Amino acid sequence: MTADSSSQELKSLKLLTAIVLRSFRFAVELLAVLVMRPEYETLKGTTTLGIKSRDGVVLAADKRATAGQYIAGKTVQKIAKINERCALTVAGSVAEAFQLVDRLKAEASLYELSHGRIPKIHTLANFTALMINTKKFISMPVQLLLAGYDDSPRLYMIDFFGSLSEEEYISTGSGSRIALGSLIGKRVTELSLAETEEAAVAALRSAIEWDTATGEGIDLATISKSGMAFRTVTLHRS
C-alpha cells in the first residue's frame, strides 16, 4: 500500500464519518420534533395578511397567541419593524419567529453600516429565506410576510421550508383561508392606501369572526414612499 493510497483512504474515512455524524444529528433533531415537542405546547401566531396596492403595501395581523386550545396571549405584536422601509409579520412558533426577526434586524443594520445605504427589500427577503432554508422546518416552524418600499412596493411570502415568492396579496396562519376569501373579487392592486387598509381590516375581521385561534384586535403597518406608519384597530364586542 502506497502513501498516496493510505492518504486517500484516510480522507474517505473522514468524509464517511462526517456524513454519519450529520445524519445522526438530523435524526436526533427530527426525533425532537416528532416525539418531544408534543409533550409541551408552543406559543403560536395565527392570522397575518399582506396587500400590495398601487402606492404602497399594507400588513395586518391579529393579536392573539395560542398554545393548543389555550389562549396564551391577547396583546402579541406580530408585525416587526426591520428598518425604516421594511417590516415583517410572523405566524407559527412565536419564539423561533422573533429570534429570526432579531437576526434580520442585526443583519439589516450591519448592511447599512457596511454599504452606506439600506438594503433592498428583495435582498432582505432572500436573506430571510436562506436563514430558514438552512434549518428547514425542524427549527423554524414559521410563515413570514416581508414587505417594504424601495423603488416600488414589495411583498414576499416565506414558508417554513425557506421557499420565497413575491405576491400581490397573501395571508398566513390558521385564519388565512378566511382572510383571503374575503378579498375575492376585489381589485386590491388598484386600491389607494386608505382603501387597502380598509380591505385588510375587513379581511382580518372575517378571520377573527370565524377562526377560534384569531382574535383580540388588529395591528396595521402601512409602508409607502413617504415612510412607515403603525396603528391598532380595537374590536368592540357586539
Sequence ranges of the domains in the chain: 3-39, 48-234
pTM of the model: 0.78
Distance between CA atoms of residues 85 and 83, nearest Å: 5
Residues, the chain: 238
If you ran DSSP here, which 8-state letter would residue 163 be given?
Answer: -
Distance between CA atoms of residues 75 and 62, nearest Å: 9
Distance between CA atoms of residues 128 and 86, nearest Å: 13
**12, amino acid identity:** S
**Cα–Cα nearest to 209, from 183, 173, 179, 170:** 179
Distance between CA atoms of residues 220 and 63, nearest Å: 11
**7, amino acid identity:** S
Indicate which residues carry an active-site annotation.
46
Measure Cα distances from 127 to 38, 94, 102, 134, 219 in Å.
30, 20, 13, 11, 25
What architecture is domain 48-234? 4-Layer Sandwich (3.60)
Measure Cα distances from 15 to 12, 27, 109, 149 in Å.
5, 18, 38, 46
Phi-psi domain of 173 (left: phi exceeds 0; alpha: psi -120 through 50; beta: other): left
Confidence (pLDDT) at 184: 82
Burial class (CB in 10 A: 0-12, 13-18, 19+), 1: exposed
Confidence (pLDDT) at 236: 66
- Helix axis angle, 121-133 to 94-115, nearest 10°: 130
Average confidence (pLDDT) per 10 residues, the chain, 238 residues: 64 69 58 47 70 93 82 85 93 81 91 91 93 71 91 91 90 89 82 92 91 88 94 76
Which residue's entry shows cell 393548543? 68
230 touches 219 (CB < 8 A): yes
Distance between CA atoms of residues 115 and 227, nearest Å: 21
172 touches 91 (CB < 8 A): yes
Confidence (pLDDT) at 41: 45
